Amino acid sequence: MTVREFAPAKINLSLHVTGRRADGYHLLDSLVAFCSVGDWILAGKAPEMRLAVAGPRAEGVPLGPENLVLRAAGLMAGAPAALTLEKHLPAAAGIGGGSSDAAATLRALSRLHDAPLPAPEAVLGLGADVPVCLAGRGCRMGGIGERIAPLEAPLPPLGVVLVNPGIDVPTPAVFKALAVRDNAPMPEALPPLRAFDPVVAFLAAQRNDLEAPARAIAPAIGEVLAAIAATKGCGLARMSGSGATCFGLYETEAAAASAAEALRGRSGWWVAAGRILP
Ligand code: C5P
């Protein structure tokens, strides 16, 4: 038996940095969505844990113990498997590639061996984005990533474009460059987010507080944002996570696909189109 688990790209539709803990981690208030673009994890029973990496973005993925798939698998040591990571997402890109791979690995091993998932604290230890990736659906994320509140109603299947300028922006450097660390959170009660117009109107009044420091480190992010904003039907262009990937929101998946066509062809840019998952 082989199980396949999708590891969708994580998109921070908003990301407010609201404080800083004594240990240096930052408090966040973020509306997180997942999209139909992502990696895959395949798992089959095997006497010991092993990992192979395939797919268009396999190059450069570390195969040592720092690999988040292997670290996640290490939390389920009683459930060995031959794992294949089919890599489509760029790494260190603000769309939770590694975190989503780790969460998909936990789901795959749990299904393969009918084994329980690890404790929430252990999951958080893999990375601040892994708990939300394990939830795998539209959530409001708080704390440093451990407070997960699934949205009351599923997000609409809006079209989304992802663009990465091919620059690695290390997350710690972006947090370090952040000037103000106690920004306002989102409103306590979120409005209904059931269609394109209200989603775009709400998000336009929110922010990604990491956008300015990330742009200072990698000015190409500004070019990406301007290019996305100029595409037909784009309701919002924003950076995800600590960058450098930026996203555009569209009313339909077809509109996103057309926008992606218009954005392709720039040297070094990674462009993908899909839809927001419920
Ligand atoms: O947990 P993760 O490995 O994703 O975090 C990478 C780095 O990002 C941390 O070492 C920290 O510098 C920064 N970070 C933060 N506050 C968060 C999440 C990450 O300061 N909530």
Could you report the per-residue pLDDT of 230-264, keeping only the tens digit for each? 999 999 999 999 999 999 999 999 999 999 999 99
Q: Is the pLDDT of residue 64 over 90?
A: no
Question: Which pLDDT score, from 0 to 100, does residue 7 have?
Answer: 98
CB within 8 Å of 149: residues ≥ 6 apart = 139, 140, 141, 142
Q: Is 92 annotated as a binding residue?
A: yes
Q: Which domains occur in the chain, in start order?
A: 2-149 (3.30.230.10), 152-275 (3.30.70.890)
Tell me if 265 CB under 6 Å of ligand 1: no
Which residues are catalytic, by number? 10, 129
Distance CA 118, CA 139 (A): 20
Pairing between strand 246-250 and 50-54?
A: unpaired
Q: Is the pLDDT of residue 265 over 90?
A: no
Q: Is 257 annotated as a binding residue?
A: no
Atom number, ligand 1, closest to the C-alpha of residue 145: 21
Burial class (CB in 10 A: 0-12, 13-18, 19+), 65: exposed
Atom number, ligand 1, closest to the C-alpha of residue 144: 21
Q: Is 91 annotated as a binding residue?
A: yes
Q: Is the pLDDT of residue 92 over 90?
A: no
Tell me if 131 CB under 6 Å of ligand 1: no
Handedness of CA 87, 248, 164, 123 (dihedral sign): negative
Q: What are phi and psi of 21, to 5 degrees?
A: -85, 165
74 close to 107: Cβ distance less than 8 angstroms: no
Pocket test for ligand 1, best of 18, 175, 217 (most atoms within 8 A of CB): 175
